[in-house]
Amino acid sequence: MKREKFLEILSWEHHDGLVIALRLEKGLENGTELWLLKDYLLDKWNHALKDHFQSEERYLIQPAQYYEPDSAPIQKMMQQHEVITKLVETILDKANKANIEKFIAALRQHIQFEEKELFPYLESLLEPELKDKIAQCLSIHYVKGDKGWDPEFWKT
């Protein structure tokens, strides 16, 4: 199913997020040094994923709660954001294999939830004018998250 325009940019960023998860997974499989994976993960967190979470929190929560206070999918989104943010803090302190694996799994699960449940829910909940406003706000905030990286550890 095609994503509605107001969620298009967030969906592109989800694609980038899945690329980041896949690269980290490949790095773990091919024995890339953990400090290199940590460096990559933290860079992607600071320059793409964190901004993505903030965009969702700034531009999706208020509109959804206007129509549906205590919206369950929005609450689930916030809980998952919190879990992933805490995982990054843990990795900052201790970048072992288990913690990076947990991060990969949590990120994938979160993106899947938003694409399969949260976004279809918002598409049916919100009014067209509001969708247009959200699209306008989000277009300013698009971050291309999977651009070049050296070394390309996932290729070895």
Q: If we measure between CA atoms, which residue out of 133, 134, 88, 141 comes closest to residue 110?
A: 88
Cβ closest to Fe ion, residue 4 vs residue 114 = 114
CB 5, min distance to Fe ion, A: 16
Footprint of Fe ion on 71-130 (CB under 5 A): 114
Site size toward Fe ion (CB under 5 A) is: 2
Name residue 18's amino acid: L
Distance CA 73, CA 117 (A): 7
Which residue number, 30 or 112, has a Cβ lying nearer to Fe ion? 112
**Angle CA 37–42–43, to nearest 5:** 100
Nearer to Fe ion, 16 or 56 (CB): 56
Q: Which is nearer to Fe ion, 91 or 111 (CB)?
A: 111
Question: Among 56, 99, 119, 122, which residue interacts with Fe ion (rule: CB under 5 A)?
Answer: 56
- ∠91-92-98 over CA atoms, to 5°? 15
Distance set, CA 117 to CA 12, 81, 93, 107, 122 (Å): 17, 15, 33, 15, 9
Considering only the stretches 40-48, 55-63, 88-96, 133-141, report the one whose residues sit in contact with Fe ion under the rule CB under 5 A.
Answer: 55-63
Interface residues with Fe ion (CB under 5 A)? Answer: 56, 114
